Structures are given as structure tokens and as C-alpha cells.
Chains A and B, each alone.
Chain A
């Protein structure tokens, strides 16, 4: 049972005992929030499964290195028999466990991951036996496809994580070693692994997939176009993720962890981009799409504009649900995200390089607004998270301007005194609101 629900149940008993609510009312509240027990989940030995999965992957790596030693003593067909035997053996053992009841299918997933590791070892071993020295990232691609197929076959998070890692290695090898970035690396994760994370309600797989998408998107777009293209696409992805997080919270409350992951990556990308744009020098370069260093700026632009359109569509949907239908609640400060997106793509599209000063001031104000709203909301709701985040953001903005705005030590000192004053006032306000709500000081 969720710890909050457990607390609520105890409270209801107290309310009934103190006469705050009638026994009938208490029972109705209890019925509303009571969750059915989950005995099967309780009995799963998660420690065993987590370590078994990690162990399977490490064993697979060990086997790859063992084969890489290239044993002269083992004949060619002996090596092939070893690797084929290992793959078939691991998968048959996995299938036997998968067919059982209880927690054993989970161990079967770990063995299937081991089989997929052996499959990867087999790719490199066959290459070694037949002296194949072709385009080596293809080895990782075929390995990743094997892991992806297994992840879907078993609806397995462990195999999904393995596939994410392998797709990232493949995409990175293509981009860094061959300077041939593959948009399929992004699409494979977005189309093949994010839906699996969603279906399995896995926050871990979603976090790995989103981190990989952000990394591959930035790396690929820099190679296709320029840093400006990669920057604006990352900003658009961040705005889209926050929209997706809010819609998930509203439409699929059972995937709250997933919404949290999307919020983390979305706001993470947005704040980094906004912070960089608060510097005039960076603002003049990061929104300048006319500087094209890569060979495929159109492809870079296509990714950026697609994310832009998806992000705006998400926020349009949120606007419909919250402003017109009044079925959702969105913090006012969060509307800054789609506004910032429109603003950046507008400046980039117009090629307005001379607007760097305006852009940097705009984003300074935007960040200040966001920080103050978070601090205010955090204090009002007595929630430490937004209060701390807002304070940190305010501190970061003041620190950035410390170096490029205030020239004299006197003005710098004054800036810190004001910042310190704001923090003290915030602390007092937070305490007051918390006491008003009956919480501790």
C-alpha cells in the first residue's frame, strides 16, 4: 500500500475516534481511497531479480571479452558451436522459466537478456572467425534490434534497457567515428522503446529512453546542421516533454512516475536552454540558423520544426483542457514554455541576429519570473520542492549577471545583499504559510 494512503487510513480512524466524521462518512472516505492488496507483487524477490539481470549482462560482457581473447586452441567450428549453444541454452532456460507462475518469469527475463548478450557476443565472434572488418557500427545495430525484439516479445524492461544502451552506442559510433549520424537511432528509441516504457509504466526505461533521445538528437543535429539547430530542437523537445507530462498527469494518473520523468527532462532541457540564452553572446549564436556547418541543414531543420509543431500542439491541447474546458490545472508560469518556444523559433526563422540583446534580456526576465513564481507557489502550498528550485534558479541568474552586468564591486555587493534579503523574506513567508496550514515550522 502507498505510504500516503496508509497515513490517510490511520488518520480516518483518528477522525472517527475524535468524532470529526461519522463512522459512515469515515467508511465512505476509506472506500474511496482504499487500494486492493497486491500479494503477488509483495512476494516478488526484487533484489534477486535486479542482481540476476545485472549479473546476466555482466556475464554476457565477460563472454564477449573471453571470445575476444581469440583462443588459437579452439577450432573455428568449436567456437561457433560454443556461441550457438550458449544462445540457444540461455533462451531455452528463459522460456522454461517464463512459462512458470509467480516471480520466476522475471528471472526468465534476466536469462533472456543473457541470451541477447550471447547473441551480441556471437556477432563479434563470427566477425573474428571470418576476419570480417566491415562497417562495425552495424554489429551494434543488429545486436540492438535483437534486444529490441526480445524486449517487445517479453514486454521486458531489462531487455528494453539493453536495447537503449545498444542503440546509443550504434548512433554514437556512426556520428562520432564515421560522421554519418543516423536519424534512425532517434526514431528507434522514440518509436520502439518509449511506447514500451509507456505500456509497462516503467519510469526507469522512460528515463533511459528520454536521456538517450536528448543526447542523440543534439549529437545528430549538430552534425547535420549546426549548434543552433541542435539547440532549438532540444528546446522544442523540452517544451514538448513538459506538455506530455501535464497531459499524462491529467489523462493517465496511474503513470505518475512517468510524468515526473518527463517533467524532469522537459524542464531540464528548457532551463538549460533558457539559461544559455540569458547570455548575450550565446543568444547571438544559438538562434542563428544561418550558420550551417553540417551537410544536411534541411534534415536538422525538419527535426526542429517537427518537435516545434508537436510541442505547440501539446500546449494547444492543454490550453483547450485548462482554459476552456476547465478540466486541468496548469501553473501560470508554465505558459512561459510555449511562449519561449514561439519566440525562439520566430527569431531563428527571421534570421534576426541583431536581436541578441533583446533575446538575452527576455530570457533573463523569463527566468526571473519563473523563479519568483516557483518560490511564491512553493511558499503558498508549503512545498519545499518548488521553493528550493525557485531559489536555486534565482541564485543562478544573479550569479550569471554578477560577471557580466555589475561592473563595480559595490553594485555586485548590493546585488548579493538584495538576493540574500529575498531568501530571508522567502524563509519567513514559507514558515508563516506552513504554520497557517498547521504544519511544523
Chain B
């Protein structure tokens, strides 16, 4: 009897593992294929070894996309209540943008009635949105591969987004399959105003950011074309939504003026080539507005009263395929927007 019971328990143990593996294998083969955009870092897990930690664009869902109970959770300012929200199950409805990248269309505590969705758990809640963990944030590799991937993200592929292919099951469970690097990368270097004379060495003096040098890199093995419109109109400043304390927005975002691209604006980057564009952030085009003061006048970035809260990314946003149709090398242009690492009025932040 004891032996039979032991064999029954052993069979159950095998079944648990078989279910775990079988479910993921099934989703991997039959699930809805999607591409998610992410950036890697490289930690280590004592039980599962080295892995590449993935921070997806969809990991932080802004307030505007929260629905139902999730919207109420963001209203809480009590630390204990916010803490209690951790690990709640949420469902992120997904759409696919014109460039083939999946994006969150809404986040709710109940699954959407149709369309693909990801089941996740709340990581943290703040008044600006919800950080969600979807269970696909780790890509387990050998230590060697993990270190190489992280090194590529910092050097050989600096500023290039990583596209992760996942398969999503009908219950919202996702299986991470593989990843590729975007051929085009964006990096920034900050211009700093000279440090003022400081009589008190104990007091830290920020060096405000006055400009940016943006570099576009072709990391691929084929030619890639970029579009640099006059007055750097291919570039935008977007608030850094991953930093909950951001309360400035770009004043230029309201402007509806767009430039019509010409053949001269299209630059072809050979494999390994770069193109550098300088943005003078002291110019009115790059001024910002404090969202807590409706109707206030735009100010230069370096004049922001709370420099840390003026956190932005530079987005390379080329014209649509329609706008460049017929122009030379139009077929080489990658139209998906590309975002730089974040910076604020005082320094770069990630």
C-alpha cells in the first residue's frame, strides 16, 4: 500500500511538471504571435541561473489606459493600500501598431471579451499608472550569453531596441520565444551649461541640460535610410512615463506644423554608419510646460524649477510611408519610432 501511494505521488509530481511544460509548449506552437519591444539588463537567479531581465514598453501602463478597478487603484495615495495592490491579477488588451509592435490598448481587472490579451500581475501602482509583470520578463540563457547580450545593449547595439517574439494563449499566458535587435539605434549625449561659481562646496550645483547630440546608428548588415526634416522636425520630446514624478510636457507636442519631406532630407546609412544631429534645447521649439500649472507659458528645460521632474526621451519619428512615397531610397526607411534613453533637466537617467 505504501509503495502504491508513493508511486501515485511520484506520478503526480511528474504530471505537475508535464502540465507546466506541456501548457507552454502548446502555447508556443499554437498561440497568437506578437512582437514586444524591450530593453535588456543582466541579473542572476540562484535557482534558474543567469538570465536577461527584459523591461518592456508595455510593462508600465499609463493612467489613460487603465479601466475599471485598475483606475481606482491609481487614485490611492496611501502607501499601505498601494502595497496591497501588488500581485493583483490584471489583463492588458493588446493591439498591433502600424509597425508590427504590440501595444497595450487598455488595462483592466477583468479579461477583455475579444482580441489578444496578456494576463499579468501588478508590480507597483502610482498616481500616473501601473507597472505590470507579465511573467515573460526573464530570458534564461547561459551566463556567457547573458553577459554578451547585456554588453551588446550597452555597446555594439547601444540604443537599438530589442524585439521579443512571444506567443499568447487564449487565457492570456504568454511564452517568450526569441528576440532580435532593431537595426537602427539612437543614442544621446547631453550638452551641459558650465557649472556656476560655487562658494559652498557642500552644496551640489546642477549643470542644466542645454542641448543634445542625437546619433542614429545602423547596426544592421543592410543599408538603412533615415529622414532628418528641417529644424529637426523628425524628432520629438516625449515625457518619460516610466518615472512617476514627471510633471512636465513638451510644448512643441501641441504644434501641428509638419514639414513635407524632400529627397535632401533622406540620408542613407551604410552598415555600421552613423548620423549625428544636434538639438539646441534652449530654442523655443524645445521648451516645456509644467502640467500642474494649466495655462502657464512654456519655459526652457534648464529653467525647470524641479529639474528631476522634467524627464523626457527623444523620439525619432520619421514621416509615414505615404509621405515619402516616390522619393529616392524611400524603401530603405524604417518608419517605426525610436526612443532614446531618458534624460532630465539635470542629467541622463537610464
Contact = CB atoms under 8 A, between A and B. Distances in A.
B141 A70 contact: yes
Interface string B128-148: 000001011111111111000
Contacts of B6: 91, 94-95, 98, 112, 150, 153-154
A148 to B, nearest CB: 9
A101 to B, nearest CB: 13
Contacts of A149: 9, 12
B49 interface: yes
Nearest to B145: A72
A201 B50 CA distance: 43
A87 B47 contact: no
Given A70-B50, A126-B21, A180-B86, A131 B138 contact: yes
Which interface residue of A131, A133, A146, A179 has the most chain B CB atoms within 10 A?
A: A131
Contacts, number: 139
B94 to A, nearest CB: 18
Interface residues on A, range: 35 or more
B48 interface: yes
A116 B13 contact: yes
B10 A124 contact: no
A96 to B, nearest CB: 9
* Main SS at interface, chain B: helix
Contacts of B115: none
Contact of A133 (B80, B84, B136, B144): B136
A69 interface: yes
A140 to B, nearest CB: 9
Residue in B46, B48, B142 whose Cβ sees the most chain A Cβ within 10 Å: B48
B142 A155 contact: no
A413 B281 CA distance: 76
B10 A88 contact: yes
Interface in A77-100: 80, 83-84, 87-88, 91, 94-95, 98-99
A135 B86 CA distance: 11
A119 interface: yes
B282 interface: no
Interface in A182-200: none
A312 B84 CA distance: 34
A139 interface: yes
B64 interface: no
A99 B3 contact: yes
B7 to A, nearest CB: 6
A153 B8 contact: yes
What secondary structure prevails in chain A residues at the interface with B? helix
B24 interface: yes
A73 to B, nearest CB: 9
A127 to B, nearest CB: 6
Contacts of A390: none
B10 A139 contact: no
B214 to A, nearest CB: 33
A295 interface: yes
A180 B135 contact: no
A94 B2 CA distance: 11
Interface in A132-146: 132-136, 139, 142, 146
B16 interface: yes
Contacts of A133: 133, 135-138
A112 B5 CA distance: 12
Contacts of A87: 10, 13-14, 17
Contacts of B144: 72
B9 A153 contact: yes
B26 to A, nearest CB: 11
Contacts of B139: 131
A153 B47 contact: no
A386 interface: no
B47 A146 contact: no
Contacts of B25: 130
B192 interface: no
Contacts of A130: 20-21, 24-25, 28, 175-176
Contacts of B12: 146, 149
A131 B175 contact: yes
B75 interface: no
A71 interface: yes
Q: Which 10 A-B pairs have the closest CB atoms?
A: A91-B10, A68-B49, A153-B5, A133-B138, A130-B24, A134-B135, A131-B176, A119-B13, A128-B140, A70-B49
Given A123-B17, A155-B2, A180-B86, 10 more contacts: A69-B49, A69-B142, A70-B50, A72-B141, A88-B10, A94-B10, A126-B21, A127-B20, A128-B140, A135-B121
23 contacts: A68-B47, A70-B48, A70-B143, A83-B17, A84-B14, A87-B10, A91-B13, A94-B10, A119-B13, A123-B20, A124-B47, A126-B20, A127-B140, A128-B49, A129-B21, A131-B175, A133-B133, A135-B121, A150-B10, A152-B5, A153-B2, A179-B83, A295-B80
